[in-house]
Structure 1
Amino acid sequence: MPSATKSARPAAPAIDLNRSAVSRYIQLATLFRRRIEQGTWRNGDQIPTVDELAAECGVARATIRQALDQLEAEGLIERFRAKGTFVRTAPAANRLWCEVETDWTGLLRSREGAEIEVLGETPGVTETPAPPVEMGTKAPRYTHIRRRHWRDGQPFLVADLYLDERLRSKVTAEDLRGKTALKLAASIPGVRISDARQTLTIGTADIETATALQLPLNAPIAHVRRAAVDQRGVLILVADGIYRGDVVRIDIKLR
């Protein structure tokens, strides 16, 4: 049974939906989803009516209904005729289970319970994404490997690896299905990593990323680019990874 408690709407600046090219209903679905994730609209709460949300957001009621349709399809809300709309699911307490490591030891650690799916492989690539900083000398050619990482039946990371093609024969199918990018590079026989860097950028999911990670369009994502140079000074790996923003946690030891 839904709770009779109606979620209070905190005072906030007027919402301007004209600052983005993204459809208004998608922007609103993202806003409403965040209210549920942050506990502004708690599990069991009745949310404001369509008329109230339309007045708050300055849009037509049909646009609000489109946004709520998305949340209903995701199982976050439930509508009851003549009663209203209620929050159906609260974020799980352990939802933020995917750590983006910030030190070398952590980056080499395997993620417990994670599975890696190899989506495709293309040899003979001469260009890679730019590494985080200018690093080493480029290899003549790279093998591009696209992978998707899963945990508990949910994809959390899609990644493009560019590996020095001369090293590809030393990487087994088991390595590709079981090792993170830098761990894979560091475990290649005869390879010693002399320099490794990573950068992290926060963004939103485009249509391709949303499809691969089973996310709504414009959902938050974390884009992480990693690169490694071997003992010869060769840039042997560039890895471009996109994580679901709703399951990522970044822990940094300050002292």
Structure 2
Amino acid sequence: MQRLGAIRPADDLDDNDRVALYVRLARIFRDRIRSGEWSPGEKLPPVPDLCRDFAVAPITVRQALRMLADKGLLIAIRGKGTFVTEGQHSAVDDPELRRAINDRLDLTPGQGIRVLKRETGIALPPELQMEGGHPRSSYVKITKIHLYNETPFALMDVYVDEASYRHFPPNSEHGSKMLRMLTNHGPDKMGSSRQLITISHADQDVARALDYSLGGVMVKIVSNIFSIDGDILMANNALYRGDMFVMERVEQTPAVPVIPDPTRPKDRH
């Protein structure tokens, strides 16, 4: 049983505690749909079962179900029950969404960019300066939203070395990822990159920008691109909706030397 109304100490409060109980329950149901746990066309458990599973009243369950029905995720059929609408797919099952997130260079089919603001002459915030990197004197800050099939899935602050940005095509941030522009047009030879991935929650501004639930799970990725001299050419502070996030990495397994097991008896010849 998952208790949604459990009391926590006052110093452990966050945005989630100020969200109505039925909204939090709707968020859990939505995540089950997005993850594929509840598949398209599947009938949901009866209301009494959901009440028992989450220790909430029937009215709370019905409000949560109605909220998702209004968003087109569920459909209620009189006399039969509530079903996941057809056409709902999890992020894992959508190869183009996976590419949109994991391809750091290029936009994929269905992916778009909405630039909210561009600022020049900006200093790189200390919290975005990763170990081993040296900030340059001035950056262009681009605040933007990435969309997939018109649905916003990521909010980003991208800082590009201003001297490098001057080499980019005008207004390229509206139609290209900045790493592609840095790769193709930047005057400096790039060296290594670093990423730091943590879990966060959507505050009011983020929830509004991404059309997401207040307190919803977010994946935060802070990254730096370094020159061969260790200067930070670009930094990115990205927040991804948890219900639309999937990370995929393909790496070559390094050669690992075999370490003899001292507890294993030696072969006798």
TM-score (norm 1): 0.78
For residues 173 and 155 of structure 1, do their structure 2 counterparts lie closer, same or farther at Cα, with a shift above 3 Å needed? farther
| Partner SS state of residue 216, structure 1 | coil
Percent sequence identity over matched residues?
27
1:55 is the counterpart of 2:52: yes
For residues 231 and 34 of structure 1, do their structure 2 counterparts lie closer, same or farther at Cα, with a shift above 3 Å needed? closer
The one of 5, 18, 26 equivalent to 1:17 is: 5
1:12-161 matches, cutoff 5 A: 13-18=1-6, 21=17, 22-81=19-78, 83-89=80-86, 91-92=88-89, 94-95=93-94, 97-99=97-99, 100-101=101-102, 107-108=104-105, 110-113=106-109, 114-128=111-125, 130-131=127-128, 133-161=130-158
Q: Which runs of 5+ in 1 are unaligned?
A: 1-12
| Offset at residue 39 of structure 1 (A) | 4.6
Which structure shows the bigger proportion of residues in helix conformation? Answer: 2
The amino acid that maps onto 1:68 is L
Once superposed, which parts of structure 1, at least 4 consecutive aligned residues long, lie more than 6 Å away?
Answer: none
Larger radius of gyration: 2
The amino acid that maps onto 1:187 is N
Deviation string 1:20-59 (CA, Å, 9 cap, x unpaired) is 5243222211221233344544433443344443333222
Q: Cα RMSD (Å) of the superposition?
A: 2.8
The one of 226, 229, 232 equivalent to 1:229 is: 226
For residues 98 and 132 of structure 1, do their structure 2 counterparts lie closer, same or farther at Cα, with a shift above 3 Å needed? farther
Number of residue pairs the alignment of both structures matches: 238
The amino acid that maps onto 1:78 is I
For residues 33 and 129 of structure 1, do their structure 2 counterparts lie closer, same or farther at Cα, with a shift above 3 Å needed? farther
| Partner SS state of residue 47, structure 1 | coil
Rounded Cα–Cα distance in structure 1 between residues aligned with 2:119 and 2:204: 22
TM-score (norm 2): 0.74
The amino acid that maps onto 2:150 is G
| Offset at residue 75 of structure 1 (A) | 0.8
For residues 167 and 43 of structure 1, do their structure 2 counterparts lie closer, same or farther at Cα, with a shift above 3 Å needed? closer
| Partner SS state of residue 137, structure 1 | coil
CA contact (8 A) 1:117 1:147 kept: yes
The amino acid that maps onto 2:141 is H
Which structure shows the bigger proportion of residues in strand conformation? Answer: 1
Q: Which runs of 5+ in 2 are unaligned?
A: 9-15, 254-269
